[in-house]
Structure 1
């Protein structure tokens, strides 16, 4: 009894025992754990010293002061942030671009609130948000100076391309997924051929084709601005991938549910809208959120067709003048912006998964 009591007294706590079992099960793995922890601490210290301790902050920091310092030069952000956020947009009108960004972010946030998950409420939010953005960015009315799409740039253009791509691509993906499940072979195979053809091409090729090739194929009255053609091409690419995700979600719905609905005389649109699509969306939610994240990051590809989105604006921020050495800081700042948006999307997706898991019980 004394031996058992002594062993219980000297036994490590549960958490210590778990750490020992996970990281020090054998002497060799213990050495690997210690070396890895040391390298991680060393890298963390180097990053901390570079980003904060030895860095130069504020708009007062000059390029010469930054070159002499051993850390990051955040002064390039303080001095060139207008180019990063607004691109080629006229300096005197950049307040409009800032308000347009706020309008888009507010529209996205309101769309994520459950109390707005009603068809008319969502439609009102998107119509009002899109109208406010377009009026602010383009002007020409209400006393606002006209600014053409070729002068749009920075974060405002990135958000516009992302929102417009999703607004075009997501409804189109539902249509394509349903057409591919059609019982008519001509429709199902034709839709499948279209989806596979789009998915077989890289997004760069599609953007280039819609920006440069499509105008030669259309009559003058059907041609639109290059920005809108590029957005439609990106939306088509998004729809092709999302259609397959939704089709996979539809295949996860038990066949017996649709057959039971047909036996009860429920019409096609009620079967799809009330029974099949809600369950398919729940099944396809993780992949759908991932597709939205990919779509946001792929907005940077429009640089190849001449648009000044946030990454191109970042290149201009350090590529001219005296800040050519500070490219690391600019890319780190842009990466932080991308991280904020993509992380927010992923966290919202996790929230939806928890909410749907609770509601399905």
Structure 2
């Protein structure tokens, strides 16, 4: 009996095969795919018609906003300065713009591996923050003095986020190592500190920093209200980030630390060259997630009297002139948050690829 020779299977590739495999493999998949496709087309068409085709873009056509069928983006044209700069003096908006760009540039440069050294990164942020404060506060070189009570808008949001992250991360590292200390007093005290700050709502901590602290401290220790709020926010961030870093430290095999000790490596070298790089690599997704949460939580400072970007948006829709355009204003605010959060997420994904998270 001679075995029948079968022809080789026909190669199934191409975009048509991919669509058939993923969307039309069965009749039910095909029906559901067509329904979802129709829904997507309807949503995109509605958004296009409302947001772009029938939208009103200029303030000169403001009267048509209440009668048109499209979005009234004229509110952004008319009130974008209030959203971006808050209560900052109108004539000095150029200073707020430069200060905001300085912090953003510092954040971008911090993502470049060239600055990932023990000394370059702190110097970079010292220069960036110094530039921001000098430009925003003024009081020299002919620039009028602007107190922190007048700081606001997007520049204040970016400053609070970056200050909290930069101050909180080193503190989180210290707390993580202190909680792993072989001395019970240090370990238990650090654990108590972390548990207290993690158990309190962020609003409670910020309210205490803004209102309660001045009642119990002398005038010379009170400092600026914005500074106190940033310190309280940084302590809250550090408490959560410390546990993330501690988890990363615990994932490092004990043999690596023991080998470093046997080679008489100084403790500082063990931390900088062996433990911290692996701890940050192993906890990178959680760290990026915590950064995203922190950026969004900056809106809470509105409750204690700061005019950040969300408060500026609320002020726009709180007026009778543009009160009906709250959808457009909040969509614009959502776009601002999306840009920064998406940027953080993409940077985290790039770092994961670069450091090969999960591949040893």
Q: Return the TM-score normalized by structure 1.
A: 0.93
In the aligned structure 2, how far is the partner of 1:204 from the partner of 1:71? 38
In the aligned structure 2, how far is the partner of 1:321 from the partner of 1:139? 34
Deviation by residue 1:284-335 (Cα, 9 ceiling, x = unmatched): 1111111111111111110010100000001112221411000111111111
Gaps (5+ residues) in structure 1?
A: none
Gaps (5+ residues) in structure 2?
A: 1-5
CA RMSD in angstroms comes to 2.0
- The equivalent residue for 2:117 is 118
Shift in Å at residue 357 of structure 1? 2.2
- The equivalent residue for 2:253 is 254
Shift in Å at residue 16 of structure 1? 2.7
Map 1:143-292 onto structure 2 (within 5 A).
143-292=142-291
Map 1:1-361 onto structure 2 (within 5 A).
8=10, 13-62=13-62, 64-357=63-356
Shift in Å at residue 113 of structure 1? 1.6
Name the stretch that deviates more: 292-301 or 260-269: 260-269
User: What secondary structure, in the 3-state scheme, does the structure 1 residue paired with 2:59 have?
Assistant: coil
In the aligned structure 1, how far is the partner of 2:249 from the partner of 2:13? 49
Shift in Å at residue 185 of structure 1? 1.1
Contact 1:138 1:146 in 2 (8 A): yes
4+ runs deviating over 6 angstroms: none
Contact 1:76 1:318 in 2 (8 A): no
In the aligned structure 2, how far is the partner of 1:135 from the partner of 1:141? 9
User: What secondary structure, in the 3-state scheme, does the structure 2 residue paired with 1:60 have?
Assistant: helix
In the aligned structure 1, how far is the partner of 2:13 from the partner of 2:60? 53
Name the stretch that deviates more: 277-286 or 214-223: 214-223
In the aligned structure 1, how far is the partner of 2:159 from the partner of 2:243? 25
User: What secondary structure, in the 3-state scheme, does the structure 2 residue paired with 1:119 have?
Assistant: coil
Contact 1:162 1:295 in 2 (8 A): yes
Shift in Å at residue 133 of structure 1? 0.8
User: What secondary structure, in the 3-state scheme, does the structure 1 residue paired with 2:324 have?
Assistant: coil
Contact 1:261 1:271 in 2 (8 A): yes
In the aligned structure 1, how far is the partner of 2:283 from the partner of 2:306? 32
In the aligned structure 2, how far is the partner of 1:336 from the partner of 1:308? 19
Shift in Å at residue 12 of structure 1? 6.6
User: What secondary structure, in the 3-state scheme, does the structure 2 residue paired with 1:73 have?
Assistant: coil
Shift in Å at residue 344 of structure 1? 1.0
Shift in Å at residue 246 of structure 1? 0.5
In the aligned structure 1, how far is the partner of 2:281 from the partner of 2:325? 45
User: What secondary structure, in the 3-state scheme, does the structure 1 residue paired with 2:243 have?
Assistant: helix
In the aligned structure 2, how far is the partner of 1:132 from the partner of 1:222? 25
In the aligned structure 2, how far is the partner of 1:220 from the partner of 1:115? 43
Shift in Å at residue 14 of structure 1? 4.3
Shift in Å at residue 213 of structure 1? 1.5
